[in-house]
Amino acid sequence: MIKYISILAISLGAFFSTAVLSSYSNPDVETVAAKEHTAASNSVSQNLPQVIKAITLDNNFYFAGEKVPTEIFDVRERLDRELLVNSYWHSATVQNIKLSNRFFPVIERILAEEGVPDDFKYLAVAESGLRNATSSAGAKGFWQFLKSTGKEYGLEINDEVDERYHLEKSTRAACKYLKRQKNKLGSWTLAAAAYNAGSRRISENLSQQGMNSYYDINLNEETGRYVFRILALKSILSDPTRFGFQIDESQKYAPYSDMVNISYKEEGILDVKNVALNNGISYRLLKVYNPWLLDSKITMSGRKEYFIQVPRR
């Protein structure tokens, strides 16, 4: 019995060996396999019509005129991470490019007037995506001021008016804050980090770790990435085509042009609806141009003058 089983095993082995060998030597089998591989490759390329590349970094990165030490591998890799994240976060980056065309001219002018480096316009992008956002902590506006900080820097905040949503006033408040942090901490880079974490926390980390540079201190995840995210946004928004973003000028959001500010100071109740009607625009558009108007009215004290922006008629 064992003899017959052995003979059967040998026969089966020979059969399978022949079949396998024939599959390697048979040109028809090779052709079928090649066609299947090519078809699979073509299917993938059709479904994913993209080229994914790493980003080439050089050593010429600056923030607010201060050199970024990309010769340190840790600094280089942290910057690389944020460049990759924001380069391939397509929807958000395209919106940033479109919105920057509308709002950067206003922000750039105020930064220059206040003596704050132009690079801080990218901090506003990092904070809010150039939208009047509200964070889980209650920070609001382009510059994400908390209520207490906004009031400290002169912004009116109540049930009718919230100047954290006023682009010009909140930008000037942000400039005051940043200049104060620069004077405390000694560099614009540290001032940017303090915008995220607060000057006290940055000062404590510098002291505890015996360092004097943002790039040399160990911080929490959010603040440790914060300046690098601003640097990445600066790189992408200042040269979008280098990162593959082909946004035609006609597709960018136009600035609010040919606008005038109408002054209101009289004591009493100012009806916002009437302001819109008297200037030939909808209530909706008045709120778009003036997002700091929270309510349908302003209770005027006669002491403060309000300027409401409307299109020139």
pLDDT, greater one: 156 or 26: 156
β-bridge partners, 145: 140
| HEC secondary structure over 113-144 | HHCCCHHHHHHHHHHHCCCCCECCCCCECCCC
Tokens standing for residue 277: 């009607």
pLDDT value for 28: 57
Interval 199-249: pLDDT, tens: 999 999 999 999 999 999 999 999 999 999 999 999 999 999 999 999 999
Statement: residue 5 has pLDDT above 50: no
pLDDT, greater one: 53 or 267: 267
Instruction: Identify the three-state secondary structure at position 95.
Output: helix
> How far is residue 291's CA from residue 35's CA, in Å, rounded to a whole number?
61
Q: Where are the domains of the chain?
A: 2-47, 62-251, 259-311
Q: pTM to 2 decimals?
A: 0.83
Residue 174's alpha-carbon distances to 121, 123, 227, 233, in angstroms, are 10, 10, 16, 19
Q: Are strands 297-300 and 268-271 parallel, antiparallel or unpaired?
A: antiparallel
Please identify which residue in the block is written with the tokens 């990165």.
61
Interval 74-129: pLDDT, tens: 999 999 999 999 999 999 999 999 999 999 999 999 999 999 999 999 999 999 99
Across 134-160, b (16+ Cβ under 10 Å) vs e yields eeeeebbbbbbbeeebbbebebbbeeb
Instruction: Identify the three-state secondary structure at position 307.
Output: strand
Q: Tell me: domain 62-251, CATH 2.40.50.100, correct?
A: no
> How far is residue 281's CA from residue 261's CA, in Å, rounded to a whole number?
14
108 phi and psi angles, rounded to 5 deg? -60, -45
CATH number of 259-311, picked from 3.10.350, 1.10.286, 3.30.70, 1.10.510: 3.10.350
307 phi and psi angles, rounded to 5 deg? -115, 120
Interval 248-291: pLDDT, tens: 999 999 999 999 999 999 999 999 999 999 999 999 999 999 99
